[in-house]
Amino acid sequence: MHESKAEDKSYDAMAEGKAGIFVSTNPSNERMTDVFWVNPNLASKQAVEGFVWYQSEVIYTVMDAKREEKVPSIQLIHCRDGMVMLDIASKRMQLGCPAGPVNYNAIRVKEE
């Protein structure tokens, strides 16, 4: 089995438009962790009065941060032409997917 670790990008790195993985506590449920893979289109990046936004490919999932056993499956939401919107003062982020997302379910197969 192959395991790897990913470097969590900071909010400031996302505001700069750097591609990477952003991990944060889910604002609706502190037990859950939001994971965003962001691949910005820097040509679309704009900034006005403390707000930054750009088009980006985004893959999103939410994970139970307290779970100790292996997860049986994971749902990924993929947005090829998404929009990332950042409020610099509050360090809040919103994602939009105007064209609609594609949902993937990865299911763990039994280990032998």
Give me the domain span that covers residue 80. Answer: 11-107
The CB density around residue 3, as the number of other CB atoms within 10 Å, is: 4
pLDDT digits (tens, 9 = 90+) for 10-49: 888 889 999 998 888 888 999 999 998 999 999 999 999 9
Q: What angle do CA 63, 64, 66 make, to 5 degrees?
A: 145
Q: Is residue 1 part of a domain?
A: no
Q: Is residue 103 part of a domain?
A: yes
Q: What contacts 97, CB < 8 A, 6 or more positions away? A: 58, 77, 79, 81, 82, 83
Q: Is residue 30 part of a domain?
A: yes
Average pLDDT, the chain: 88
Domain tally for the chain?
Answer: 1
Q: Is residue 70 part of a domain?
A: yes
Q: Is residue 84 part of a domain?
A: yes
Q: Is residue 96 part of a domain?
A: yes
Q: Is residue 54 part of a domain?
A: yes
Q: Percentage of the chain with pLDDT > 70?
A: 91
pTM, rounded to two decimals: 0.80
Q: What contacts 47, CB < 8 A, 6 or more positions away? A: 53
Confidence of residue 112 (pLDDT cuts 50, 70, 90): low
- Output the pLDDT for position 3: 44
Q: Is residue 92 part of a domain?
A: yes
